[in-house]
Structure 1
């Protein structure tokens, strides 16, 4: 197993991303035949309602997680809420799932769309870096 520090957590919804501020978080690659991952978020009480709803529904949902270093690209996961525990007024949310396969050639497709906008060099670089970090659906750009 390998463990990583979770720096940010975004729930992906049809209408965009919903960021959940973390008190702490960890990501564990179980390195098993199922290629499963465990994500544990430690969040404040004000953000727990969404996770209770997801837990009760058993819904599989997509998230983006920045691991280890702030400049890393968000890693996409499909997960389910496995367990929620209250700890001294805050909450531990245990998610289980798998890494989603990113579309091939995302960088090339993003760059092609941005080049079509005839942006100045500095803006092109800035928008490309932002797009690679945030990974929006390409039709949203």
Structure 2
């Protein structure tokens, strides 16, 4: 098992992305036969109802996570909530799931989004170079 610092976390739903402000976070690669990952987000109490609703629906959600430091490309996980704990001012949300795309696929997602915007030629190349450095958040389609 390997553990990493969870730098940032977003929940991706349809065409929106909900940023989860982290007080702290941890991600574990269980290195098991099912390639399971655990992500724990320690965040603001105001998100309790949001995560409680998802948990009650027992539905999968896509998580966009940046691991260890801001400069790293985001990784996408298909997860479900296995635990939701309320504290005085914060909550702990424990997600379990599998990685959807590895870090090297970020450039492919970026290129696809730029092509969908109609960019081509030098404009496409310039925009790609800028975005690959700044690593903006990308919307991903669910595998459902």
| Shorter-normalised TM range | 0.7 to 0.9
Conserved 8 A contact 1:84-1:92: yes
CA distance in 2 between partners of 1:108 and 1:11 (Å):
20
3-state secondary structure, aligned to 2:123: coil
Unaligned runs of at least 5 residues, structure 2: none
Equivalent residues, number: 137
What RMSD, in angstroms, separates the aligned Cα atoms of the two structures? 2.9
3-state secondary structure, aligned to 1:31: coil
CA distance in 2 between partners of 1:72 and 1:105 (Å):
13
Residue 106 of structure 1, CA deviation: 5.7
3-state secondary structure, aligned to 1:62: strand
Query: Are 1:80 and 2:84 counterparts?
Result: no
3-state secondary structure, aligned to 2:42: strand
- Quote the residue 2:12 is aligned against: 12
CA distance in 2 between partners of 1:89 and 1:81 (Å):
20
Residue 124 of structure 1, CA deviation: 4.8
Query: Are 1:134 and 2:137 counterparts?
Result: yes
Q: After TM superposition, what 4+ stretches of structure 1 lie above 6 angstroms from structure 2?
A: none
Query: Are 1:38 and 2:38 counterparts?
Result: yes
- Quote the residue 1:119 is aligned against: 123
3-state secondary structure, aligned to 1:23: strand
Unaligned runs of at least 5 residues, structure 1: none
Conserved 8 A contact 2:75-2:101: no
Conserved 8 A contact 1:11-1:64: yes
